[in-house]
């Protein structure tokens, strides 16, 4: 049985790697290159994340069939930095401080939206209704109703709506998830994830403009963001849903402002337990005062555990290396027999401590977290005029459940998803 | 005390290794090589490893036989020294 399992694991690992590459839309980009028409793109929201996305877009050579025609931000310094960045790549996009002017005046095929969370919904809906494809940073929206309205606009307009869950585009994650779905780690019993930081999450506000506090540190205020839930947890909740190929049925959560009592309104620590209909749990926590454990997702099955951030698989029954020659084993046994210490007493029971085995690498060759591939895929999807619908659903339900987690923290109750937010 | 050529000659005797000694040492080593080879067969059976190790592990076998030879040589040397001391007394 063990031998069969090992054979199965080897076969699924090989098959999974092949499938991941074949299924990756990154591979299909080359086919899309046949189209000569350049995709006209704009970036709305050129803060640090927006400029990061912009730089990845301008630096990538995988799909050069695009042009950055416009950038937009209502905060002058961010817009100026975006223009300076564009100039470094010898391009001169039009600049706007109002996104509605951009979509009315500049002919664009797609926009990348990287504004604060509370602005996602109306910008996205306006773009989709104008037939402009959207890559919107996660999470989708600040409220449940806005999230649903974004999804409805996507369905009604037929325009592409891709949510910025970059792990969906990382070959490392695609490979790992294919292997999970092929049964390599067995039956998933539990998933655990955490994101621990040692940082107050504050950005510097100019001394002479204290009124910019809420605009710059929008992640800390409930009006604009659900903090750790929408900005960090949503990434890892999406991975858990992806592993399960389904969405939770309930969440119980708690959170508090325990350390940074600096006027912020969102929790600086939180913990949540999501339940799935088969009894599987996803246990999550996030904190901002200690980074020892960092960021990780554990997908735990009865054959193995995959630690996705660290690209590591720990098998319950590790594949044994080729045995040493018999004579070497004999010498080893004799040595062990001669020099081993003789136990004279000990505990009759010991707790299961963590295994010391370091596991194996899941995937080689992924550079970055998938954001570069996400941008290339977006261009690819616009050229193909379609995107995988399940990816949009992943973004939708992740956003819904992130916001339901907030409701659980506020109410102290176990929360289920209201029927009106369920989509087919 | 004068330390001339005569004294040196008296101390430094010609050492001659007789063919009988060489043969004896060779037989001891060959016996140990045989024992090591037997150990290899035993370990192949015990650990259910490949029979090809009969030749692929020859290096191990020779190394074990040499180790055993050195170990036995040390024991013989001790025995010889003790015997000398006992005979003198």
The CA angle A322-A328-A331, to the nearest 5 degrees, is 140
Mean pLDDT of B37-48: 94
Flag if A325 and B53 touch (Cβ within 8 Å).
yes
Q: Which domain holds residue A282?
A: 187-318+355-367+388-421
Q: Which residues on A lie below 8 Å from B44 (Cβ)?
A: 326-327
Q: Which residues on B lie below 8 Å from A323 (Cβ)?
A: 47, 49
Question: How many Cβ pairs within 8 Å bridge chains A and B?
Answer: 38
Mean pLDDT of A20-41: 58
Question: What pLDDT is stored for residue B88 in this prediction?
Answer: 87
The pLDDT tens digits of the residues spanning A360-377 come to 999 998 888 999 999 999
Q: Is the pLDDT of residue A28 over 80?
A: no
Q: Which residues on A lie below 8 Å from B46 (Cβ)?
A: 326, 330
Collapsed DSSP state (helix, strand, coil) of residue A42: strand
Mean pLDDT of A56-70: 95
Q: Is B29 in CB contact (< 8 Å) with chain A?
A: no
Q: Is A328 in CB contact (< 8 Å) with chain B?
A: yes
Q: Is A292 in CB contact (< 8 Å) with chain B?
A: no
A407 and A261 together in one domain: yes
Q: Which residues on B lie below 8 Å from A328 (Cβ)?
A: 57, 60
A275 and A223 together in one domain: yes
Flag if B61 and A331 touch (Cβ within 8 Å).
no
Q: Is A412 in CB contact (< 8 Å) with chain B?
A: no
A191 and A52 together in one domain: no
User: Which DSSP symbol is given to A69?
Assistant: E
Mean pLDDT of A412-418: 98
Q: Grade residue A217 by pLDDT with cuts at 50, 70 and 90.
A: very high
Cα separations (Å) of A286 from A15, A222, A293, A294, A349? 35, 17, 10, 9, 33
Spatial strand order in the sheet of A39-44: A94-96, A66-72, A39-44, A110-113, A133-137, A161-164
Query: Domain boundary at A168, A195, A227, which?
Result: A168
A191 and A151 together in one domain: no
How far apart (Å, rounded) are the C-alpha atoms in residues A54 and A49?
9
| DSSP track, A162-177 | EEE-GGGG-HHHHHHH
Token look-up 């074949």 returns A22
Flag if A329 and B47 touch (Cβ within 8 Å).
yes
Lowest mean pLDDT among A103-112, A118-127, A345-354, A404-413: A345-354
Cα separations (Å) of A212 from A206, A215, A217, B13? 8, 5, 8, 102
A109 and A216 together in one domain: no
Mean pLDDT of A161-181: 97
Of all residues in chain A, the percent with pLDDT exceeding 90 is 80
Q: Is the pLDDT of residue A123 over 60?
A: yes
Token look-up 């913990």 returns A271
Q: The domain spanning residue A268 has which CATH number?
A: 3.30.360.10
How far apart (Å, rounded) are the C-alpha atoms in residues B2 and B12?
17
Residues 304-323 of A with CB under 8 A from B: 323
Q: Is the pLDDT of residue B13 over 90?
A: no
Number of folded domains in chain A?
Answer: 2
A179 inside domain: no
A71 and A112 together in one domain: yes
Q: The domain spanning residue A28 has which CATH number?
A: 3.40.50.720
Question: What pLDDT is stored for residue A18 in this prediction?
Answer: 45
The alpha-carbon gap from B25 to the nearest alpha carbon of chain A, in Å, equals 25
Flag if B53 and A329 touch (Cβ within 8 Å).
no
A215 and A116 together in one domain: no
């Amino acid at each position: 049985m063990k031998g069969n399992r090992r054979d199965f694991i080897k076969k699924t690992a090989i098959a999974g790697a092949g499938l991941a590459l074949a299924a990756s839309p990154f591979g299909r980009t080359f086919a899309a290159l046949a189209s000569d028409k350049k995709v006209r793109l704009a970036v709305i929201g050129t803060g640090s994340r927006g400029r990061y996305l912009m730089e990845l877009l301008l630096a990538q050579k995988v799909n050069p069939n695009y042009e950055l025609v416009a950038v937009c931000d209502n905060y002058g310094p961010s817009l100026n930095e975006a223009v300076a960045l564009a100039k470094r790549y010898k391009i001169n996009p039009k600049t706007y401080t109002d996104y509605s002017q951009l979509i009315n005046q500049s002919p664009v095929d797609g926009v990348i939206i990287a504004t604060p969370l509370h602005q996602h919904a109306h910008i996205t809906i306006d773009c989709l209704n104008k037939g402009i494809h959207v890559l919107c940073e996660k999470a989708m929206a600040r409220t449940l109703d806005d999230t649903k309205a974004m999804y409805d606009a996507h369905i009604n307009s037929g325009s592409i709506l891709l949510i910025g869950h970059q792990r969906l585009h990382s070959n490392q994650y695609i490979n790992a998830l294919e292997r999970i779905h092929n049964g390599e780690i067995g039956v998933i019993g539990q998933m655990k994830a955490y994101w621990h930081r040692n940082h107050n999450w504050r950005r510097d506000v100019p001394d002479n403009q204290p009124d910019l506090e809420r605009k710059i540190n929008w992640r800390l205020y409930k009006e604009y963001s659900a903090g750790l839930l929408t900005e960090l947890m949503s990434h890892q909740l999406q991975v858990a849903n992806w592993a399960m190929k389904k969405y939770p049925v309930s969440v119980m959560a708690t959170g508090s402002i325990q350390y940074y009592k600096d006027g912020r309104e969102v929790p600086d620590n939180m913990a949540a337990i999501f339940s799935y209909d088969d009894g599987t749990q996803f246990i999550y926590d996030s904190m901002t005062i200690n980074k020892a454990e960092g960021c990780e997702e554990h997908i735990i099955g009865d054959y193995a555990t995959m630690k996705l951030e660290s690209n590591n698989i720990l098998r319950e029954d590790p594949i044994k290396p080729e045995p040493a020659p018999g004579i070497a084993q004999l010498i080893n046994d004799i040595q062990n027999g001669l020099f081993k210490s003789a136990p004279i007493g000990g505990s009759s029971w010991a707790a299961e401590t963590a295994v010391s085995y370091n596991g194996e690498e899941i995937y080689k060759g992924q550079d970055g977290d998938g954001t570069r591939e996400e941008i290339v895929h977006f261009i690819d999807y616009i050229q193909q005029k379609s995107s995988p619908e399940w990816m949009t659903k992943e973004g939708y339900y992740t956003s819904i459940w992130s916001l339901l987690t907030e409701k659980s923290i506020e109410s102290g109750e176990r929360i289920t998803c209201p029927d009106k937010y369920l989509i087919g | 005390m004068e330390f001339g050529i005569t004294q040196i000659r008296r101390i430094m005797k010609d050492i001659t290794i007789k063919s009988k000694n060489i043969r004896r040492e060779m037989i001891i080593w060959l016996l140990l090589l045989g024992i090591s080879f037997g150990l290899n067969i035993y370990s192949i059976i015990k650990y259910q490893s490949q029979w090809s190790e009969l030749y692929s592990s020859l290096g191990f076998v020779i190394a074990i036989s040499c180790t055993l030879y050195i170990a036995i040589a040390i024991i013989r040397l001790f025995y010889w020294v003790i015997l000398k001391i006992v005979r003198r007394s």
